[in-house]
Structure 1
């Protein structure tokens, strides 16, 4: 049976060792994942990616499996090793090599042994038990490697069509977090024959629950995930690529980021998704037409803090007074004109504006002559105005 040698070694150890090591399982698992991601480029995925999540889950299962086998003869292993065989199949499907898989396994064994030996030495276990533990760890790593390789070869021999999986993985890698390894991106892009463009747009999509889109309508040059919970596209020609949605705009909305380089893709996707959430400007929103609005509305907490600090003289006023003086102050800040010009903009009598400007002078005083204070007030008022307009539109 696969795993018999490591199973015998784990079973020969005192059961108290499991009680000592169990609290360390999480720390050991995290240390293994961090070291593998740091030293093996093929695993240098963002921490929140699906790939990294799979690796973390697999490592945690392996660590806990070892601990639970300590002092337990006859522990059933076939279910566990079937899981790791499936992990090997996934490795093939995700486009990694056998070298990457084997290197990750060896690094995992070394990191595990470093943490386990320290914990056992602190707990006073004898040298014989510590040596047996080391032998068990590396026997287990060898057996897991062989099992995962079996799954890898099975998937390879079956000729599994993995191009779509790899394209999805590439898209996720590009948009999920900044700082992704350019070598990793380039290697995966090469595997799916997708030349990495210098600049591209990120298109965030929103659909009705029932909506679907035949992916064959999209050109091969566009990376796409239209079946995920938060679908998106990477496109070098968004006008042409969005033609695939012609006749479907009752079920779909799209927001197109400005052109960006690879390392700017995560920020571009966040901007496009923010546009979908905030703006209702037709089925397709071109973010480059709304950059100031998206920037001003990017962080509600900061906008509120800015308003509290710069518009605090309004706090003692009634809601109607705040509304009238706010629009007058914003018009004055944006035009820096006299009462007639502000009155024309607001469509009120110049004498009304003069009275309001006197009130603003009494409320804000020297702040109206300080450039930094004026900028803070203008930004805070503009954010408030945009928020109100969006609330009315929605």
Structure 2
């Protein structure tokens, strides 16, 4: 109702007075009808909240009569604005209570019908003419429409505000999880974000476009990081995906198949940083897919400096031979260890004759002595040369 001056009826003072004396009774009838016909409102009308709503209904009816009669000395516009503010607040309250606008819209329809029935009865008994009665009906329903619109706006604004607030809290929770914050802090952050933790989480590292495309296939409790991650290249991001069961993990792996996505291990949700660090390690090595399938590569590359030192120590005896021979003996030692000394398999791996393998292994025995049969040395050599 953008121009209320055009809608004002200027009800005769005696008619308006009669209708105003019946306001309390009309309000009671409206509330009774809403409670009866809108099940969602049976509980809210109890206790203090119920009394507040009764006052709001009476205020709305008073505001309507102010608009219809434009009483001397009263700025109807200001009073109507106050009523609209109350309707707006009612819509926000509905959103905070977790209810949609459906129940409130139905309540408005029921209220308009009952209010019109009761108020038109009073108006006719006070002698209101038929043309004025028709205009009164028009004003009643236009007024209700405006109240309803105000409530819809309040409901939408509350959802937007609460949605943004919850998303900020989810973002903070995600950052704390990736940082490996203490468990007590994580539990508190999850409660503030109204996030129900799964038993296990896993980190999914993938291109941003792939993440957007996979959202519909992931658990609704998945946590998406709003900002880019410093450790990842531009265009890549991380999602923390609930994986309470092996079946849930298998579903995520299927969704990530044939892509550059990397899936870390499923771990207790408060320990998901370990899953992220493993996925990040695989990302740096371009090991895509299930990190569980790359455990050996991840282990032997976990500490590059330490592995380099181990390699130097393992290959130290080869310093006694010419550089050209060193490379061949190193290749032979690696193949001999991996194929557990089976000469034909070593020869096939190196594309040489078995007698060549026999000759080179003899050289290795001369250089390494008993260490070639020492379990600890064999372990170190396999790790160093893997």
Query: What TM-score results when the alignment is normalised by the length of structure 2?
Result: 0.49
Larger radius of gyration: 2
Query: What TM-score results when the alignment is normalised by the length of structure 1?
Result: 0.48
